[in-house]
Amino acid sequence: MTTCRQARLATNGLLWVLLLALFATPSAKAQSEDGPPGEVVSESKRIRRAPVGRQIQFAIGMVKGRGIELGTVSARALFTRELLVLADIEPLWNETSRQARVVLMPGLSLRLFGFERLVGNAAYRGFDLDLGFRAGPGLSFSPDESAEDRNRRFELVLEPFLRFTRARNHRLAWVLESGITRPAVRLGFWIAL
């Protein structure tokens, strides 16, 4: 076998091992939401449930640009639908060759552990991984625009992304998201509506 083929086989094997390890890790132990009659169940003993329904997402971007992300996410067991506004505002206060940009992005994502919960009847692990795609129009601007900058003002932005969510309680979830659009890494939260 050629070296390239051996490397490809080793990479594929490693990916399968990682996927099996990821799905073989024990999920959160199923617990009763309510204890015996008359017993008060503390917040720490309650079972965490996957965030579902309409959520407000707010995040701050810190890597490859500075900015904010704000929008609404409709989370379901297997997928999410979302409409977010992402703004890269670092060029407004730092001297860079880039322009500030605001993007309106509708998108969809698959909730990878949602399949496990639906098909395998597994309990919520306390976190989710979403793999998704967004696309939408962007508007770029800068304080001292040239004619060339004005011609490049509008653009179509395409963004594949990976999102990690961890439920804090039934109304709040922490979010860590990575995509290819500036700012590339965003940290924030979901608040249930």
CB 126 within 8 A of CB 74: no
pLDDT exceeds 60 at position 39: no
pLDDT at 4: 53
CA separation for the pair 88, 95 (Å, rounded): 14
Q: pLDDT for 41-95, tens place per residue?
A: 455 556 678 888 999 999 999 888 889 999 999 999 899 999 999 998 877 777 7
CB 67 within 8 A of CB 61: yes
pLDDT at 8: 57
Q: Where are the domains of the chain?
A: 50-192
CB 142 within 8 A of CB 149: yes
CB 186 within 8 A of CB 59: yes
pTM of the model: 0.72
Q: pLDDT for 93-144, tens place per residue?
A: 777 667 788 999 999 999 999 888 888 878 888 899 999 999 999 998 877 7
CB 81 within 8 A of CB 71: no
pLDDT averaged over the chain? 80
pLDDT exceeds 80 at position 34: no
For residue 163, give both structure tokens.
Answer: 């999102």
CA separation for the pair 154, 166 (Å, rounded): 35
CA separation for the pair 157, 88 (Å, rounded): 13
For residue 115, give both structure tokens.
Answer: 């399949």
pLDDT exceeds 70 at position 160: yes
Average pLDDT over residues 4-24: 52
CATH 2.40.160.20 fits 50-192, yes or no: yes
